[in-house]
Structure 1
């Protein structure tokens, strides 16, 4: 066959592998980028999109990074699994904050929480293994499972249960191929927080059926009112040998751009994931690791100030959204997101258009009142919007007021 002749199998001509071609773009980052592009053009867009605190990284952390820049050892490669002193500090921070006793050898430092999530799944999954994923879910979870060779099995909760799945739902989804459960509390995108009793019940169900649990604790310090963030292996010690904790500095210390996360897991998992990382990215940037070391070794006064601001904004956004006919917004107990149902607005006429999906409604809101939200399609549950309240009080009020004015025009 000459170069000019077509292949007999058209699939062989595909330039992109099926594995990578199946990955969808992150809708949250895509919409955030579009909103920022409009703002750069001078448009007064208010963004309820990306999940990052609107506060600067605390000064003492930035100072530690600046000092690290001048240290020659940080100009070189360091261990792929993380700086020994950072791994030890993460272990100590974990004991301090959640009561879970681990050692430095149980920790792998990663390039942000996303790499931690991918490596956790890639390390334990074989092709065809199923992972139960409660929805609404963060967009990256099912993609990471698929990249790791697994199959996400979605179990959906809605506002009637506070966006919390039950053990009965998990059991109904379990099959002989179920390898793991993804568990997230506090939740992105809903802000749901499971009670201590619910966390323990789910953990004991996982132990009973010999199922791995990957638990994302990135929002552990952002809980409000009587809600509490509890670590599943603390409540269910028998789970320890089949539990992987994912965490990082991004949300607690306003360090999304520094890209430092970690995995806490049984040591055979840590060793295997470290081997993977040694070929994928090697060590996390040393300056970022130095900043993370200062963060996890310090007190929690910075997050306390952020949490107070988020709590105030939480009350404002929930009240204002629930004033819109056709919108139902439960009160989130953690993280910094509201997740209102907009199903009551779908199909209604708004400025000459009839949005049939939350994605179409979000597009209409962006075009008509220059407010960026993330539609529920990104999180596996159409009919909702995710709205981060990690923005200034004034912008929050202005943005929701624009939505109130627009959506008040909805008619049958």
Structure 2
């Protein structure tokens, strides 16, 4: 087992870190504050579009797409992409600059893997070029959406069209002015076997019957300019060719999408946690309490040591999961993917919380990114499947493997 990144990753990591130092960290606070009382909170600031052009010119573009999707992406494996995603995760909004932000990454993966030639030409190509953004509509307020088979939105075939009716919320990406297309999950056949009832379909945002009711806050944050929308679908009609892969394939697509999506969130959260730890180490050297620097307080040193151990453990587990995905595929690596989805968000919550504690009141304020990072980490304990679902599935799998080994 090797614990060093290869030359390709090391080179890209240096370029990416230099880009972040020169272009992203200097605008971080002004960017996040620019949405306060903004008349256009869902419009992406011009500076992001400018930086996207620069990132693309430097070859820091679509880094998330692996080799099988060339020439669309950078051709990196999950293991090669992991440290790059971590670097971007240090500033959560920065992923868009490199066209590596959710939910666009997952939607692009779905279209690249499952989309028809027409769907790719119409929606994948402009997404890959960063000309539009997208949304993913799965979660519903009236059912426990952690069990995807509960989804109630109906997708009914009528001649050469599908008619969609339902109520979604936390549709990530749908508030942004550049969001032009959604992937919507619903049921095409409620009488089919449980995992064959669902389908996924492409719905343009401007389709009649699509009503964005309101933005949904996550831990008090609206996540401008991307947002998470509550949406009503009232007899929304789209062409039959908008169905992805075919009727009854929605659950299959969701499983194919969420493996990489989950590990990307974990990678970003490790970046958040590492940055929180770095900030904590700087802070405790700058402040005095009870006659000596915080850095010389035993309890502070113990906390910093534990934070470091927690980040390193989560990072190594995430890299192992990425390596297994590359070597054996997402299905074989599902136990490790579940494990990191349990470990990484909880770790990030704990580490960021400790960093907030060391910053005192400042850590809860708008003058550091820590509060926003904490809200992101806490939200990811629910997004892409809550902790309890992953623990239930992982425990079931481990018990079954032990029984099979007898």
TM range (shorter): under 0.3
> How high is the TM-score relative to the length of structure 2?
0.25
Which is bigger in relative contact order (C-alpha 8 A, separation at least 6)?
1
Greater helix share, structure number: 2
